[in-house]
Structure 1
């Protein structure tokens, strides 16, 4: 029988307990990712990022309220990513749908409910939606000169820099898996994938990396 974690009453101690016991969706594959990485292409997990889904129409009172609470503008076009303080990025997913992404350390709440709550309060009764998706996805980072070639094996998008520049992010498919693909540097890509597909996606990427080992 698994040990039962007894949480302390003090919020700071309780948070430290939870942080010490949490495991990311691809935690069990970290050694395989390290072993499969090399100079040409490397794979790692960037776990526990804050991820909040936003539905609001830019230019409306609801959109303006969300922008004020975020401290960043909502993107206006396909692939656009806007930035705010503390490593915040807002990814365009649809004309009125966005994903706010920030480092895990950005919030004091383990599940970032405080952050999502502030955004929801700013939106109020106006049309829109705020949902904390931090536990819904994990983030895989593929980097190196051959990273784009690996992604080309399973992504139908044109990933050439002329079409997919640094800073762009889109919802697409990698193989048969729905992902958000985000180019954060010339040779660095982040793959935001649902937790339930994390193992499959890691193994798919490792398989595609083998010829460059």
Structure 2
């Protein structure tokens, strides 16, 4: 008998069509999409201890120490979440390897590595109207001078707790990392707010 197969279904799979339709209707002003299954590994350690250097070598990236910043390279993004906390985001399918690599790097030094990939999904919000759309529900100053590429922040969007990331190029838009239990609510809010930017009726 053939082995049972597990079919993954992302938190927003049922809204993929509506997100794509809103993108088309915006006439190029917006792009809305889910980026499901990104690897997300939470790391806690002393940024001045030997574990930080070991993690840097394991990732090929430094742990950012400036509040609200992130670094990218090798297909990974490392987000500053606090003085001793970071989130390492990588491609789908890499969570197990990342977790093992980081645990090995920390070794017996004080620290913690936790796979939180299943806790959140990621929404991509990009296009010329992306900042205006997000500003409707977020208290952060999203002007490029204040929140340009390489910035990240834990905040609220439409009252939902999120991690907001300005991507590496101005036109790349934003990642909105949201807990899976709030993903449907937040996506519906974005779809509703996006109606202001509809230019191409269907």
- Normalised to the residue count of structure 1, the TM-score between the two structures is 0.85
Deviation of 1:121 after TM superposition, in Å, equals 2.0
- Cα distance in 2 for residues equivalent to 1:127 and 1:154: 38
Task: Work out whether 1:209 is the aligned partner of 2:197.
Answer: no
Instruction: Indicate which of 107, 110, 117 corresponds to 1:127.
Output: 110
Deviation of 1:51 after TM superposition, in Å, equals 0.8
**What residue number does 1:118 align with?**
101
- Cα distance in 1 for residues equivalent to 2:101 and 2:131: 37
- Cα distance in 2 for residues equivalent to 1:69 and 1:157: 33
Which has the higher mean CA deviation after the structures are superposed, 46-55 or 183-192?
Answer: 183-192
- Cα distance in 2 for residues equivalent to 1:42 and 1:71: 31
Deviation of 1:183 after TM superposition, in Å, equals 0.9
**What residue number does 1:50 align with?**
39
**What residue number does 1:22 align with?**
8
Divergent runs of 4+, >3 A: none
- Normalised to the residue count of structure 2, the TM-score between the two structures is 0.90
Instruction: Indicate which of 33, 37, 43 corresponds to 2:19.
Output: 33
SS of 1:135 mapped into structure 2? helix
**What residue number does 1:11 align with?**
none
Deviation of 1:63 after TM superposition, in Å, equals 1.3
- Cα distance in 1 for residues equivalent to 2:11 and 2:109: 34
1:33-66 deviations in Å (ceiling 9; x for gaps): 1112222112001111111001112221121122
1:68-94 deviations in Å (ceiling 9; x for gaps): 222210001112111232x11101010
- Name the Cα RMSD after superposition: 1.5
- Cα distance in 2 for residues equivalent to 1:118 and 1:206: 38
Deviation of 1:166 after TM superposition, in Å, equals 1.1
**What residue number does 1:90 align with?**
78
Structure 1 residues 1-213: aligned runs within 5 Å: 6-7=3-4, 17-18=5-6, 21-37=7-23, 38=26, 39-85=28-74, 87-105=75-93, 107=94, 112-184=95-167, 185-187=169-171, 188-213=173-198
**Can you give the 5+ residue segments of structure 2 that lack an aligned partner in the other structure?**
none
